[in-house]
Amino acid sequence: MEERNKAAVLEFYTRMFIQRDLDVADTLISEDYVQHNNTFIPPRRDGFKHYFRKYFKMFPASGAEIKQVCAEGEHVFLYATHWAKNWLFGVKYKVIDIYRVRDGVLVEHWDTIEGIGLFSRFMYMIKPLLRL
């Protein structure tokens, strides 16, 4: 079960954050997806897609590098670095994501995010004001 869950999360993360393929949400995120860190991302699959449509528009260049992934039962833990740029500025941050996977589909998510460098930390703190 753990290997199947890791494979689902790795496929999702690669397609979503490295290839910027938002369509992956339709097949690998459950419709009633629970986003525990909903400060920025609204609940459910539709909320996730709504947020990242705006994110990809605001940051026409972005990506991620997966550093580590492990699984235990239904939970997959992933550590990655992310970057995002637009015409005005760029940010870098590191993320620990925790997904609960059921039947090969992501059903629940927790995360912790930390900016890399002073500017990225500042931008993350004021992110709610940007209405992303």
Domain total for the chain?
1
The pTM score is 0.86
In the 8-state DSSP scheme, what is residue 43? Answer: S
Query: What is the block-wise mean pLDDT of the chain (132 residues), using blocks of 10 residues?
Result: 96 97 97 86 92 93 97 97 89 94 96 71 56 54
| Beta strands at 105-115 and 90-102: parallel, antiparallel or unpaired | antiparallel
Domain range for 31 = 2-130
pLDDT value at position 90?
84
pLDDT value at position 42?
86
**CATH number where 58 lies:** 3.10.450.50
